[in-house]
Structure 1
Amino acid sequence: MVEMGMVDEVRTFFDANANYAVGIRKAIGVPEFDRYFRAEPYLDKQQRGKLLQEAIQEIKRNTSKLACRQLEKIHRLRNKKNWKIHMVDATEVFGWRGKDADEAWEKLVAGHSTEIVAEFLYNFSSQKSDPGH
């Protein structure tokens, strides 16, 4: 993400007086860069590089924590609430560009997701119309 321009993108959200507990500034990647952006003008290249790496490591830790919390919630919904969970993997799509990407998205993600939602809605409406449920 850093190589794709994350630092410059997050820089657009930086505000020394911002509240990082609300809105987009709460998103992973924004608060972690606060210290870096505040100190950046006063540091030499080596110091900036060190502080940037610290921010990146903090983002990685926070992303990992978020992923673990999300997996815990998914497992709880599946195991304790008996939800039928479907996995839709979009990873392959991000390697494509242009029309090929659109076609891959439709085939691997949108099409499959639409089928899952349609099945859910059909079963939900069938249960509502069946007085025994």
Structure 2
Amino acid sequence: MAPEYAIDGNFSVKSDIFSFGILLLEILSGKKNKVNHWENESPYLIGYAWDLWTEERPLEMVDDILKESCNNLSEVLRCIQISLLCLEQHPYDRPDMSSVIMMFGSEIALPKPKQPALFVGEYSYDDFDNELSITALEAR
């Protein structure tokens, strides 16, 4: 779920792009987003993928079966980069789907992804204001 939808209830085509980015990471890794498959790593796929991207080891997240069946790992690396672009913090920074399709179908240079909107289980949304109230109910 895109953070802007989870926080503010705002939904747009850019929310779908965020979801597509998650789906693409799940396909590439063979893992679900919210299950800790990696010891001593982020419990979330987004955080795990981002950590490996910044450490310049992104292919480590790719499922072994996909690695074995793929003739060109540079295409897999491109898919990881596209998925991270779909997970940008601000919806207006995310590409639209026609741009994503163009990225898959060409060899144009891709922009460098910024830190994802949601990673390591925390929102990194600038305008998030969390208010909490607790009501204790007592029996008569």
User: Fold conserved (TM > 0.5)?
Assistant: no
TM-score with structure 1 setting the length: 0.26
Q: Which has the higher contact order (CA 8 A, sep 6+)?
A: 2
Max Rg structure: 1
Normalising by structure 2, what TM-score?
Answer: 0.26
